[in-house]
Amino acid sequence: MKALVFVIHPNLGDRSIVNKHWFDELKKYPEKFTVHNLYELYPDGNIDVEAEQKLVEAHEKIVFQFPVYWLSSPPLFKKWLDEVLSYGWAYGAGSYKLEGKKIALALTTSADEKTYSEEGAFKYTLKEFTRTFEITFEWIKADYRPYFAFFGAPHTADEANLKKIEQSAKDYVSYVETL
């Protein structure tokens, strides 16, 4: 069964480097991945909750790919969680539609890994900043897996950066495949 990958980036077409490379790499394998570009689908933020729930129900492996914004996600992902993970569908009234489904995050950050440490400016690890996602998905009985991350995302795609990003895109595809 195909893995469902939500790509959640407000500027995927013009300003993104890493997420765009990951997106393009995933799109090479339509037989393996359903790639769901959330900002392109809902530029006005009006999420079709029923369609999203049906899509989730049809997949067993789900990845949410996004750049870290203010130590969290771009706002459309929060809106998606608030609206799609509804009572009586995702949790409550005996209904846990994501129960047992493998769920993971794929993250990009500008800051390097050292910045995300006790000694660094952010004081906490990326794992700690993603606890809210971890517990949310555990709460609805999904099988939350360790994330895939790219630290120190560059502002320009020079040759050295490009090599690193292209390798990460390949590693990312393997990660999603073997989730």
Binding residues (CB under 6 A) for ligand FMN: these are 9, 15-20, 67-71, 108-111, 153
Rounded to an integer, what is the distance from CA 29 to the centroid of its chain? 18
Closest separation in Å from C-beta 155 to ligand FMN: 8
Minimum CB distance to ligand FMN smaller for 53 or for 109: 109
Q: Is 160 left (phi over 0), alpha (psi -120 to 50) or beta?
A: alpha
Task: Give the whole-angstrom CA distance, residue 5 versus residue 25.
Answer: 12
Closest separation in Å from C-beta 166 to ligand FMN: 13
Closest separation in Å from C-beta 63 to ligand FMN: 15
Minimum CB distance to ligand FMN smaller for 14 or for 44: 14
Minimum CB distance to ligand FMN smaller for 70 or for 87: 70
Minimum CB distance to ligand FMN smaller for 49 or for 71: 71
Closest separation in Å from C-beta 158 to ligand FMN: 13
Minimum CB distance to ligand FMN smaller for 20 or for 59: 20
Minimum CB distance to ligand FMN smaller for 54 or for 127: 127
Closest separation in Å from C-beta 133 to ligand FMN: 15
Closest separation in Å from C-beta 93 to ligand FMN: 36
| DSSP code per residue over 80-112 | HHHHHS-BTTTBSTT--TTTT-EEEEEEE-SS-
